[in-house]
Amino acid sequence: MPPEWGRDGNLRDKFRPDVIALVSSSATERAALAAVVAARDWLGIECESVRDFIRFLRRNTPTVVLVRHQLVDGHSDDVLSAVVDGGVAPETRIVVIMTANAPPADEARQVALGADCVLRDPVRIGVLTEYLAKYHGAPMRTRKAGR
């Protein structure tokens, strides 16, 4: 497949578009996040569970993963582990969304496990969109495994 230069200055396969993975067990939340992503003409792929995300990750390398902390079959910890420890996508940026009353220790744990950003409910769409723009179009950096 012929390569091309991406917005981030890295060589990319032009047949593998930049993708934002939207991981939430709530269909309403996934639809809302998909609308935010589509409004900027980005490609968003919805995943309902950790299992769906891992299946998606076997064939795709997302530029950004936007994940709800609590999922129907696990937690964002499982998604972080699949990305960071799995070594599948070391350049992928990860945004975790937590409930407003989540303990600070849980928020700190997400960062320690490899999250680039942790947002709390209620999520401000303007702030979320700017993080996605920053991470989706930013130069890729390599994440150290086990971080």
Q: Render pLDDT for 67-101 as a digit per residue (tens, 0 to 9).
A: 999 999 999 999 999 998 877 667 899 999 999 99
Query: Among 15-29, 46-60, 133-147, whose mean pLDDT is lowest?
Result: 133-147
Map residue 14 onto helix, strand or coil.
Answer: coil
Q: What is the pLDDT of residue 87?
A: 73
pTM of the model: 0.83
The burial of 34, by beta-carbon neighbours within 10 Å (0-12 exposed, 13-18 middle, 19 or more buried), is given as middle
What's residue 1's pLDDT?
38
Mean pLDDT estimate for the chain: 86
**Cα distances (Å, whole numbers) of residue 147 to 57, 58, 83:** 19, 21, 11
